[in-house]
Amino acid sequence: MIDYHLNHLKELEAESIYVLREVAAQFENPCLLFSGGKDSIVVLHLALKAFYPASVPFTLLHVDTGHNFQEALDYRDNLVKKHGLRLLVASVQEAIDKGLVREEKGYSASRNALQTIPLLEAIEKNKFDCAMGGARRDEEKARAKERFFSHRDEFGQWDPKNQRPELWNIFNGRKHVGEHFRVFPISNWTEMDVWQYIYQEQIEMPSLYFSHKRKVFERDGVWYAASEFIQNKPTEVIEERVVRFRTVGDITCTGAVFSEASTLEDIIQEVAASRTTERGTRADDKRSEAAMEDRKKAGYF
Amino acid sequence: MTTTIEEIDNFDSKAYLDMELLRFSTAGSVDDGKSTLIGRLLYDSKSIFQDQMDAIEAASAKRGEEYVNLALLTDGLRAEREQGITIDVAYRYFSTPKRKFIIADTPGHIQYTRNMVTGASTANLAIILVDARKGIIEQTYRHSYIASLLQIPHIIVCINKMDLVEWDEKTFNRIVNDYKAFASKLDIKDVHFLPISALAGDNVVNRSENMDWYQGPTLMYLLETIHIGSDLNHIDARFPVQYVIRPMKNEYHDFRGYAGRIAGGVFRVGDKVKALPSGFSSKIKSIVTMDGDLQEAFAPQSVTITLEDEIDISRGDMLVRENNMPQVEQEFDVMLCWMNEKKMVPRGKYILRHTSRECKCIVKETKYKLNINTLQRLEDDLELGLNDIGRVTIRTTVPLFFDSYRKNRNTGSIILVDESTNETVAAGMIV
Ligand SMILES: Nc1nc2c(ncn2[C@@H]2O[C@H](COP(=O)(O)OP(=O)(O)O)[C@@H](O)[C@H]2O)c(=O)[nH]1
Ligand SMILES: [Mg+2]
């Protein structure tokens, strides 16, 4: 008898495609949170596969902190054009201007936590009943407890102690009016799986992920890109180094790594050798041991 | 934060693309060494990162613990860390050059039976821990029963803390015999026994130097080599339709594809298939993916199937092979695990989900409740509350197309949803 089996990337792909199709079938108006980071790029790629030859039946939603890497924005706009997608931008700047949120002050000011309000506002205004994201369980310990289909109450809040049991691959997306779901199609992928998949599929990536020269400075052991959005302390020296980014998010809290990795294969080698998680390069998670859990409870991604 | 490329020992990216995926769950009672074992597997396979290690070292110190508490790696919620227990299923990931592993770390207490069931539902393999000093205890029965009920294909019983019984072979053999005696009553296909010390690492990744009487494989070797190719049913072709694909594009004007994940068996182009519930027959015209059409597809692939004839098929329908039909019934028995604080209402109405199908149902009768510690059938206490398991008869408003859970985990499983709260209240295995 022939031994029918899939390798692990194919099996993960099949699982994620299954989840994306469940979303399309179970929700009226789902959106896909798209940051231009590698995880959301992979989710979008999987969505293209899931509905081929039809178009992706989701709106893309970018929660824009206003502190972007230009490369990420260019990449996003290209992709939207190439696949004829619909993109909505929820702006943190607008929320600040409208007085909905207050900007953090000081050197370590970050707009990361501020994303929750415009996100929830965009969900409400556009009547999205499901928002998909590229979060993975291996990223962070609170995320390790997250379901594929994660229920949010009418305030967008997550209740980690009262999560619906999720068995086999039967997903329960039933909800009351005003509630919504967050769905994470690549829950079971690791950072390594994501890169291996990008390599296997030869997915085009933003240049930020590859080694390049950039003006950076060090703060609390993390190297950040120098930018107009960051107020530098007098002691901080801006220097040009050869770096790349392991995650791409808000420029003010995304750390760079010194790296010569200029191809996907180099990156895979580097990830394999790395002794820190990618979240280790993010300032927002260093604030407290339960930082992520607290943000998620409040309605964060 | 520099990464040194020298650290890699010949990492081969091509080989990585060809790994198998093994999902396993771990069960054991409190203090049997579950967290220590997982910590060791992660640590010895270099899956614990320096910043994670730093974070748990700092957290352990803050809690005044004298050793680095590896449990903090898996206990991710604030309440869990505060109470020092695992409440919810935590998923952990690691890989070796041979396989990628997904661990569902589940809490062992009886009040978390539902989490154990959840973790077991997708597992190919269960590790059951036994403390060598205590031998088989009530919890071992329960964990093994859940593994057999959920039809986890492989079980590894790790007899842990062998260092505390002077690495004694007789103790090991006695526990193995005790286990075999009661496991004969269960439906367990493939079981292995290992003497280990999670703390010292004996027989986990490296072979023990303290137990030369044991000639079998290490835990890691078993995890890497156990044959999982036949865990899925590749005989009975089942394709639940998830979503209908109709591109609104000129070039695909007449395209009508049925998207879904193959739940069992193999489908080939040209196969004669029958659509349920309509009963109409057709032939498979093509199996479509974005990477090109396939000649055949098998479980668990996600594909899109087109048919030669235009027949009316929508989500919740199922394609099967004409000469191999599932059961088509409105009434059937399930082993039900109740998962909600609100007790099951006798003759209550619930929403039932089965593959991509949803309908209403009524729980007609409870046949018995099980004492999951002794496996005794209770026929006078029929109330199913949180974490109870019992056999019930369910009647649905429309026919379901199913196989027994034993035959196919995908087409033999259901969940029940409470109509008023929308919560998932029960999981069922069709008998
Ligand atoms: N001597 C010895 N102690 C062990 C072994 N495995 C675990 N322990 C200890 O048993 C205690 C409970 O272990 P833990 O991993 O937290 O158990 P869990 O509750 O099942 O997660 C800890 O103090 C461990 O150090 C072992 O193989 N030998
Ligand atoms: Mg533990």
Contact A79, A103 (CB under 8 A): no
* Distance, CA of A152 to CA of A134 (rounded, Å): 17
Max distance between CA atoms of chain A, in angstroms, equals 71
Which chain A residues are Cβ-neighbours of B52 within 8 angstroms? Answer: 277
* A253-292 per-position pLDDT tens digit: 788 888 999 999 998 888 877 766 565 555 554 445 556 6
* Distance, CA of B84 to CA of B60 (rounded, Å): 11
The whole-number pLDDT of residue B1 equals 33
* Ligand lying nearest the CA atom of residue B107: 2
Q: What angle do CA B414, B416, B417 make, to 5 degrees?
A: 140
Ligand 1 center from residue B129 Cα (angstroms):
11
Q: Closest-CA residue in chain A for B418?
A: A174
CATH number at residue B373: 2.40.30.10
Residues B41 and B103 in one domain: yes
Contact B112, B118 (CB under 8 A): no
> Is pLDDT of A110 > 90?
no
B254: which DSSP letter?
T
B232 domain-assigned: no
Q: What angle do CA B23, A170, B75 make, to 5 degrees?
A: 50
- Residue after which a domain boundary falls, among B225, B258, B292: B225
- CA-based end-to-end distance of chain A: 46
User: Which tokens hold the place of B9?
Assistant: 């020992």
Q: How far is B166 from chain A, CA to nearest CA, in Å?
A: 36
Report the nearest-CA residue for atom 23 of ligand 1.
Answer: B31
Question: B331 and chain A: CB distance < 8 Å anywhere?
Answer: no
Query: Residues for chain B: how many in total?
Result: 431
Q: Between the CA of residue A132 and those of A60, A92, A146, A187, B20, what are the distances in Å? A: 9, 19, 13, 11, 27
Q: How far is B77 from chain A, CA to nearest CA, in Å?
A: 6
**Pairs of residues, one from chain A and one from chain B, whose beta carbons lie less than 8 Å apart:** 230
Ligand 1 center from residue B32 Cα (angstroms):
6
Contact A24, B243 (CB under 8 A): yes
* Distance, CA of A18 to CA of A47 (rounded, Å): 10
Cβ distance of B409 and A168 shorter than 8 Å: yes
Residues B281 and B425 in one domain: no
Question: B99 and chain A: CB distance < 8 Å anywhere?
Answer: yes
Q: What angle do CA B356, B358, B360 make, to 5 degrees?
A: 160
- Residue after which a domain boundary falls, among B299, B321, B343: B321
Q: Is B351 in the pocket of ligand 1 (CB under 6 A)?
A: no
Contact B261, A13 (CB under 8 A): no
What residues make up the domain containing B37? Answer: 5-225
* B112-123 per-position pLDDT tens digit: 788 888 889 999
Residues B35 and B165 in one domain: yes
Residues B313 and B199 in one domain: no
B126 DSSP β-pair partners: B25, B155
- Residue after which a domain boundary falls, among B321, B345, B360: B321
Residues B61 and B175 in one domain: yes
Residues B299 and B338 in one domain: no
Contact A191, A219 (CB under 8 A): no
Residues B79 and B183 in one domain: yes
User: Which tokens hold the place of B262?
Assistant: 């193959």
The whole-number pLDDT of residue A225 equals 84
Domain at A8-192+289-297, CATH from 3.30.43.10, 3.40.50.620, 1.10.3720.10, 3.40.710.10: 3.40.50.620
CATH number at residue B41: 3.40.50.300
Question: B244 and chain A: CB distance < 8 Å anywhere?
Answer: no
What are the residues whose beta carbons fall under 8 Å from the beta carbon of A162, sequence distance 6 or more?
Answer: none
* Tally of domains within chain B: 3
User: Which tokens hold the place of B403?
Assistant: 């196989």
pTM over 0.95: no
B359 DSSP β-pair partners: B352
For CATH 3.40.50.620, the residue range(s) in chain A are: 8-192+289-297
Q: Closest-CA residue in chain B for A141?
A: B76
Question: B42 and chain A: CB distance < 8 Å anywhere?
Answer: no
Q: Closest-CA residue in chain B for A52?
A: B290
Which value does ipTM take for this structure? 0.90
Lowest mean pLDDT of A57-66, A108-117, A133-142, A201-210, name the range: A108-117
Helices and strands in chain A: count of H runs, count of E runs: 8, 10
Q: Cβ-count burial of A82 within 10 angstroms (0-12 exposed, 13-18 middle, 19+ buried)?
A: exposed
What are the residues whose beta carbons fall under 8 Å from the beta carbon of B255, sequence distance 6 or more?
Answer: A53, B245, B246, B247, B306
What are the residues whose beta carbons fall under 8 Å from the beta carbon of A69, sequence distance 6 or more?
Answer: A206, A208, A225, A245, A248, A251, A254
B22 domain-assigned: yes
User: Which tokens hold the place of B85?
Assistant: 């227990």
Question: B268 and chain A: CB distance < 8 Å anywhere?
Answer: no
The whole-number pLDDT of residue B115 equals 84
Residues B201 and B106 in one domain: yes
Contact B357, B240 (CB under 8 A): yes
Q: Is B161 in the pocket of ligand 1 (CB under 6 A)?
A: yes
Q: How far is B78 from chain A, CA to nearest CA, in Å?
A: 7
What are the residues whose beta carbons fall under 8 Å from the beta carbon of A93, sequence distance 6 or more?
Answer: A64, A66
Dihedral (CA of B77, B78, B79, B81) sign: positive
Residues B213 and B179 in one domain: yes
**Backbone phi, psi, residue B64, to 5°:** 75, 25
* Distance, CA of B64 to CA of B82 (rounded, Å): 13
Ligand 1 center from residue B41 Cα (angstroms):
14
Cβ distance of A161 and B259 shorter than 8 Å: no
The whole-number pLDDT of residue A287 equals 47
Contact B63, B102 (CB under 8 A): no
**In tens digits, what is the pLDDT along chain B, a chain of 431 residues?**
333 333 334 455 566 677 899 999 998 887 888 888 988 888 777 777 676 777 777 777 777 766 666 666 666 556 665 665 556 788 888 888 889 999 988 877 777 788 888 889 999 999 999 999 999 998 898 889 999 999 999 999 999 999 999 999 999 999 999 999 988 888 888 999 999 999 888 999 989 999 999 999 999 999 999 988 778 888 999 999 999 999 988 888 889 999 999 999 999 999 999 999 999 999 999 999 999 999 999 999 999 999 999 999 999 999 999 899 999 999 999 999 999 999 999 999 999 999 999 999 999 999 999 988 788 899 888 999 998 999 999 999 999 999 999 999 999 999 999 999 999 999 999 99
Contact B140, B128 (CB under 8 A): yes
Ligand 1 center from residue B34 Cα (angstroms):
7
* Distance, CA of B119 to CA of A166 (rounded, Å): 9
Q: Is B199 in the pocket of ligand 1 (CB under 6 A)?
A: yes
Residues B93 and B147 in one domain: yes
* B160-176 burial: b if 16+ Cβ within 10 Å, else e: bbbbebebeeebbeebb
Residues B161 and B295 in one domain: no
Q: Is B28 in the pocket of ligand 1 (CB under 6 A)?
A: yes
Question: B259 and chain A: CB distance < 8 Å anywhere?
Answer: yes
Question: B89 and chain A: CB distance < 8 Å anywhere?
Answer: yes
Ligand 1 center from residue B102 Cα (angstroms):
22
Q: Between the CA of residue B58 and those of A69, A219, B319, what are the distances in Å? A: 33, 20, 55
CB contacts under 8 A, B 122-141 vs A, are: 122
User: Which tokens hold the place of B97?
Assistant: 């050059």
Residues B284 and B381 in one domain: no
The whole-number pLDDT of residue A18 equals 98
